[in-house]
Amino acid sequence: MKTVDLRSDTVTRPSETMRRVMAAAEVGDDVYGEDPTVNRLEAMAAELLGKEKAIFVPSGTMSNLTALLSHCGRGDEYIAGQDAHIYRWEGGGGAIFGGIQPQPLDFEEDGTLDLDRVRNAVKPADHHHAVTRLLCLENTQGGRVLPLSYLGDASRVAKELGLAMHLDGARIFNAAVYLGVPVREVARHFDSVSVCLSKGLGAPVGSVLCGSAELINRAHRWRKVAGGGMRQAGILAAAGIHALQHNVERLADDHENAELLSSGLSHIDELMVSQARTNILFVTPPAGSATALREALAAEGILIGGGDMIRLVTHLDVERADVERTVAAFKRFFAGKGK
């Protein structure tokens, strides 16, 4: 029986074709800048995102960290969402390695940061305060796509306030496909953009940080300091290239499957079901039943996220039939409970 893993889009496994491309990759020492496949991936990512340069890094966390270190120095500050990955889910790396202070703000209902609150959060130039340098946004944020008009507004406000802009675009391709625009339209207001290749795009490892040549040159130094200088990394970069060539347009299927899952589950009275946001949705079972639900589904080969509000994520290893199987398994669980 196939396992349907809805916990995250990080669980995708490289396809046979992707593995073949990886095995055949031309490689060199990337710390010397001599890995042709890494260089090709970086050029391709920069071009797609509309930036001068890109750098291949092992993870999204290192990508965000090198971005923070490249934008900010010791005693500087960045503004980010209270639940933003870069602030909440990356171990406080900016503070640990860079002496960089976060200024978290609550996300609005739509995943944006209110720009008046951003304005108020910027510290006056006074030696009592940290120096506010950077505004970090996330897109998609918990699956939510930030409106393009908001990105333009945020960029105007950031300029006015003298802040640089970083986008945690782990799932930026989901946003672009959802909006039906080239990804550079989503990236264009930002000084740096971090993109995960290892989520919905299906590569086993890796992220790219894109930005100006000057910024990415600084990021090169920080990647080395953070221990992210890899040698014959072309084997990994080849998977990233393959992902960018073959797995972008198909993200629309994931969005469709998430909608199908949301509408299928919405018929179960006991369950509170969110609308699908790109490839992510949330379900809340009655208090105290999440663990039993998780176990019953696992017994049928269906894996779902932890907690009481359960996250379900579609990706390239989840097909329409898997969604139907999942809906049926949820229905069986709640039908059984009623008797």
Cβ neighbours of residue 100 under 8 Å, at least 6 residues apart?
A: 68, 69, 72, 73, 74, 76, 77, 78, 94
* Residue 223 in contact with ligand PLP, rule: CB under 6 A: no
* Residue 94 in contact with ligand PLP, rule: CB under 6 A: no
* Residue 60 in contact with ligand PLP, rule: CB under 6 A: yes
* Residue 61 in contact with ligand PLP, rule: CB under 6 A: yes
Alpha-carbon distance of 311 to 145, in angstroms, equals 17
Alpha-carbon distance of 134 to 155, in angstroms, equals 11
- Token pair of 328, please? 């049926």
Alpha-carbon distance of 185 to 54, in angstroms, equals 17
Q: DSSP assignment, residue 32?
A: G
Query: How many CB atoms are located within 10 Å of the residue 133 CB?
Result: 19
Q: 69 to 88, contacts with ligand PLP by CB under 6 A?
A: 85
Residue 139-178 contact track with ligand PLP, rule CB under 6 A, x = bound = -----------------------------x-x--------
* Residue 59 in contact with ligand PLP, rule: CB under 6 A: yes
Taking contact as CB under 6 A, which single stretch among the options 54-62, 178-186, 266-274, 314-322 is the one that binds ligand PLP? Answer: 54-62
Taking contact as CB under 6 A, which single stretch among the options 15-23, 56-64, 98-106, 278-286 is the one that binds ligand PLP? Answer: 56-64
Q: In the complex, what is the shortest distance from the CB of residue 232 to ligand PLP, in angstroms, rounded to a whole number?
A: 20
Angle (CA) 239-241-245 rounded to 5° is 115
User: Contacting ligand PLP (CB under 6 A), which of 196, 226, 265, 276?
Assistant: 196
* Residue 138 in contact with ligand PLP, rule: CB under 6 A: yes
Taking contact as CB under 6 A, which single stretch among the options 35-43, 60-68, 93-101, 223-231 is the one that binds ligand PLP? Answer: 60-68
Q: In the complex, what is the shortest distance from the CB of residue 38 to ligand PLP, in angstroms, rounded to a whole number?
A: 17
CB 105 within 8 Å of CB 81:
yes
* Residue 314 in contact with ligand PLP, rule: CB under 6 A: no
Residue number of the CB closest to ligand PLP reads 60
Alpha-carbon distance of 85 to 80, in angstroms, equals 9
Helix (H) or strand (E) holding 102: strand 101-105
Chain residues that interact with ligand PLP, rule: CB under 6 A: 59-61, 64, 85, 138, 168, 170, 196, 198, 207
